Amino acid sequence: MSTDAGFIELNDINMRFGLPAEALPVVLQGIDLSIAQNEFVSIVGRSGCGKTTLLNIVAGLVEATTGTVTIAGNQVRGPGQGQGVVFQQHALFPWLTAMGNVEFGCRKADISKSEKREVCRQLLDLVGLSHAADKYPRELSGGMQQRVAIARALALDPEILLMDEPFGALDELTRIELQQELLRVWDARKKTVIFVTHSITEALILSDRVILLSPHPGRVFKDYQITLPRPRIRTDPAFNAMYQEIWEGLSA
Amino acid sequence: MSNRISAKDVLLGGIGTLAVLVPWEIAARSGIVDPSIFPSPILAISSAAEKLSATEVLDHMGWSLFRVFSGFLLGALAGITIGIVAGWYRTAGYLLRPMIELLRPIPPLAWIPLAIIWFGLGEPSKFFLIFLGAFFPVVTATYQGVTNVDPILIRAAQTFGLKGIDLLVRIVIPGAAPDLATGIRIGWGLSFGVLVAAELIAADKGLGYMIMHARLLGYVDVIVVGIVLIGILNLLTDGMIAWLIKKGIGRWHEV
């Protein structure tokens, strides 16, 4: 891996569903991205710009029509290559407890059952849910479910965390809480994060970098470095100026 | 949200039941209806007890339960297996589903003539009919359950490196469990219904035989006791299955 290449490299990703002859709309066109290790990158765009598809391609869940994704120099050929994924909602296994879900994520074969349990307990602790270890998903609030989902993804000990509008279905207050929680986890565990959202505020609160996708076809439209100091304050004039700039980009 | 049953609900249930039984008892005793056709509930039990010993009744019950359990068990197992295979493997689904869909709407009782020709009047024909009663509801529900597992759960499992048979065993089958449970309950009810019908036609033991035989002898009281016993037995066993289901999946799934 050359020194100037990113940790995650997307090279000319093109995506269309169906056969070329069917002339279905192109979902993604010519996506080139280079993401550094431990960088927190948000992908923002209108509905239908292909941001979830892009995330699924990096996750190895969907294969791009053409183009490649590499992680630390290795081409992505499927899931389970160090990509932890947090979905929008309802992706916990309902028949497993919070602990069971996290343990599901911990797939190390070389550690004992008690060690595994300890690792998972620490992860539940990290997301503030050690008291709910024995609860089933339906007994947890939406916010708690997403915390479990984050702990489960971390149990894989992934280098990359891919998050697909993970807080989109939560109420405003829970959402703010979980954003702070996520930043704390990111700080504690040092992960490279790709975070899909349609909230500019959320992207600005969280990210080192905000990538704007334009729809039909999905293309990288703008790439903003966010240099505002952390923790970010929503009412800060510099924050608002940045918000305005991205908003104008989005409405262009 | 609460599905606890209050004392008031129980009281209402009691009133509803008595509203049928009490006028019946009065009508039979006062001679408004002919007790030899409509014996009163209390008199039926006492006079049936004179004609049949408890061991005889238990023997009939035992035979009925044995038949329905064994036939149901095999029918349900076959239904679960074929339902999973048809739901999970696309090719198997295309192969199996048309045949299942074709046979499914046929009421199990319509098979009786064929069952007798193929298997005679002995146990195998009853077994076959009960098997059919369990098989179709279970295979349909299992198929539904397997194909309706939320794709996001499968994708989530894939991100942890699961594929193939592991996906099936660890995600799809648990995910299908609630639908499967419904199929099992429906299958049990249908098996039970088929059992009695099969025993009515040809048997020398079992509750169905008992009431049919009583008809020949003109024992209306035995018939009344017999059908009430069939009802109670079905109610109890269905309750047991419901309880087992609730114990198995009730904590994570609203039953």
Chain B neighbors of A83, CB-CB under 8 A: 159
Q: Is B218 exposed, middle or buried (0-12, 13-18, 19+ CB in 10 A)?
A: exposed
| pLDDT < 50: residue spans in chain B | 1-2
| Domains of chain B (ranges, CATH numbers) | 55-249 (1.10.3720.10)
Q: Do B249 and A95 touch (CB under 8 A)?
A: yes
Count CB atoms within 10 A of the CB of residue A105: 23
Q: Which residues of A touch B (CB under 8 A)?
A: 59, 61, 79-80, 83-85, 87, 90-96, 104-105, 107, 136-138, 153, 156
Report yes or no for ipTM above 0.95. Answer: no
Chain B neighbors of A76, CB-CB under 8 A: none
Over residues A121-169, the pLDDT tens digits come to 999 999 999 999 999 999 999 999 999 999 999 999 899 999 999 999 9
- Model confidence at A3, pLDDT cuts 50, 70, 90, reads very low
pLDDT confidence of residue B164: 92
For an interface test with A, the pick among B149, B160, B167, B254 (most A C-beta atoms closer than 10 Å) comes out as B160
Instruction: Encode A58-73 in three state secondary structure.
Output: HHCCCCCCEEEEEECC
Q: Do A137 and B251 touch (CB under 8 A)?
A: no
Chain B, 11 to 30: residues with Cβ < 8 Å from chain A are none
For an interface test with A, the pick among B159, B180, B246, B251 (most A C-beta atoms closer than 10 Å) comes out as B159
pLDDT confidence of residue A5: 67
Q: How many residues does chain A have?
A: 252
Contacts of A45 (CB under 8 A, 6+ apart): A51, A198, A212, A213, A214, A215, A218, A221, A250
pLDDT confidence of residue B169: 96
The beta-carbon neighbor of B252 closest among A90, A105, A138 is A138
Average of per-residue pLDDT across A18-32: 81
Is the torsion defined by CA of B67, B191, B255, A90 positive or negative?
Answer: positive
Here the tokens at position A158 are 């992934």
Share of chain A above pLDDT 90, in %: 78
Q: Do A85 and B156 touch (CB under 8 A)?
A: yes
What is the full DSSP assignment across A17-71? SS-GGGTPPEEEEEEEEEE-TT-EEEEE--TTSSHHHHHHHHHTSS--SEEEEEE
Chain B neighbors of A136, CB-CB under 8 A: 251-252
Task: Name the residue type at position A192.
Answer: T
Q: Do B177 and A95 touch (CB under 8 A)?
A: yes
pLDDT confidence of residue B196: 84
Alpha-carbon gap, residue B96 to B121, rounded angstroms: 30
Over residues A44-96, the pLDDT tens digits come to 998 888 999 999 999 999 999 999 999 999 999 999 888 999 999 889 999 99
Rg of the Cα trace of chain B?
A: 23
B161 touches A: beta carbon within 8 Å = yes
Smallest CA–CA distance, residue A30 to chain B, in Å, is 25
pLDDT confidence of residue A2: 42
Alpha-carbon gap, residue B123 to B62, rounded angstroms: 14
Question: How far from B7 is each of B3, B17, B66, B112, B243, CA to CA, in Å?
Answer: 13, 15, 36, 45, 21
Query: pTM for this structure?
Result: 0.87
- pLDDT exceeds cutoff 70 at A184: yes
Rg of the Cα trace of chain A?
A: 18
In B31-53, where does DSSP find H-type helix? 41-51
What is the full DSSP assignment across A137-166? GGGS-HHHHHHHHHHHHHHT--SEEEEEST
Smallest CA–CA distance, residue A197 to chain B, in Å, is 18
Chain A neighbors of B156, CB-CB under 8 A: 85, 87, 91-93
Task: Name the residue type at position A213.
Answer: L
B234-B236-B239-B245 Cα dihedral, nearest 10 degrees: -90
